[in-house]
Homo-oligomer: A and B are copies of this chain.
Amino acid sequence: MNSQDVILGLLMHHSLSGYDIKHKMETILSYFNNASFGTIYPTLSKMEKDGLITKESVIQEGRPNKNLYSITEGGKLQFKKYMYSPIEDNEFKSDAMTRLFFGEFVEAAIMVGVLEEYLVRTKVNMERLRKLYVDCQPDMSPTQEICIQIGINNSESQILTLTEGIARLKNVKEK
């Protein structure tokens, strides 16, 4: 799975500009995907060159013109090919957890700080997902609902584990 596959999936619904795609990446897809403009625009150019999408310039009033991209039959075929290919493993990299792992080499207070910061970030993310769920639920497909539930439930579980961990660490310190 690369950025091209995700863009194809987004264009299956309706035509979008590069800017629109970036917005979707940051909101509905951000829990399990991400891409910067530096990836999106060159990828769209390549996809057009390869005949997977077509470009249409749209002149707007009071706003810059935009390039609206639409998926072609070839693009739909490529999307299907992706959806039927073997599933790749998740990729996960956590700086906060890496620090926790090496925590014994710095003062305990620093580790409490890492845990509290990680807890706050997890809470912020959970709230964002919860709000997204409330706002989008009527338009969501059954599998999209499962997706966001995974995000919300995993965040909740992590909040519990971190809260317990902080309490335990602080207890150890007091003893």
Contacts and interface: CB of A to CB of B under 8 A. Distances in A.
Interface residues of A, number: 64
Contacts of A28: 101
A150 interface: yes
Interface in A42-96: 79-80, 83-84, 87-96
B79 A88 contact: no
A91 B92 contact: yes
Contact of A102 (B9, B94, B168): B9
Contacts of A12: 102, 105
Given A111-B143, A168-B142, A83 B96 contact: no
Interface in A121-175: 121, 141-147, 149-150, 153-154, 156-158, 160-162, 164-165, 168-169, 172
- A contact face: mostly helix, strand, loop, or mixed: helix
A14 to B, nearest CB: 13
Contacts of A32: 92-94, 97-98, 101
Interface of A: 1, 5-6, 9, 12, 28-29, 31-34, 79-80, 83-84, 87-106, 110-111, 114-115, 117-118, 121, 141-147, 149-150, 153-154, 156-158, 160-162, 164-165, 168-169, 172
